[in-house]
Amino acid sequence: MLKGEAKHRGWIVLGLGFLLLFAGGAWPSLSYGQEAGEPEKVQATENAKIITMLVTRISSDRVLSIEVFPPTVDVHRGDTVVWLNAVPGTMASVMFEDSLPAEGMCDLPARPAAMSNGRYTSGLIPSGNASSLCLDGPGTCRYRVTISTQETGALLNGILVVR
């Protein structure tokens, strides 16, 4: 094998490694001030609702509209709600208003991080990744999704109703 061939083969193996890492969804969701570690494992159950952040209008390769779908979600106590960032090339975060009952949160899959102002946040959610929450207590929780692109950002509102 020639010296140049070995060098190119190494880059191919490295590139395939990154492809498998990111295609497998192994990019962790980071909380503010938290370093990347092992990705959290969230198992799908029959009691899961998915809220998707998605692009709804594009014009000349420019995003014109990003929405949260569905904007209002009704769940039962103990159901898991998953926020999926389906907007390419973005980072998102879900921030809950002060109505999120901390004592009513399930421990699994994960509790959101408490911020200094008493609100709760999902931390950063890279494109193609998700964050989840389980609530045991009834009530209505309002939340805001912040999505940041290289060019701009969007602030979206949603409602989570736990019965």
Q: Is there a domain that residue 17 lies in?
A: no
Beta-strand (E) ranges in 20-102? 48-59, 62-69, 72-75, 80-85, 91-96
Q: Has residue 127 been placed in a domain?
A: yes
Tell me the whole-structure pTM to 2 decimals. Answer: 0.61
108: in domain: yes
> Which pLDDT tens digits describe the chain residue by residue (163 residues)?
444 444 333 333 323 232 223 333 333 333 323 333 333 444 445 677 777 776 655 555 655 577 777 888 888 888 888 888 888 888 888 888 765 555 556 655 555 666 667 677 888 888 888 888 877 778 888 888 888 877 777 788 888 888 8
pLDDT score, position 24: 34
End-to-end CA distance of the chain: 66
CA distance 24 to 19: 8
Q: Which helix (H) or strand (E) holds 10?
A: helix 3-23
Is residue 89 in a domain? Answer: yes
Q: How many residues does the chain have?
A: 163
CA-to-CA distance for 134 and 40, rounded, in angstroms?
Answer: 15
Total domain count, the chain: 1
In a domain, 115, yes or no: yes
CATH number at residue 91: 2.60.40.420
User: What is the domain extent for residue 131?
Assistant: 29-162
Query: Does residue 5 lie within any of the structural domains?
Result: no
Domain assignment present for 7: no
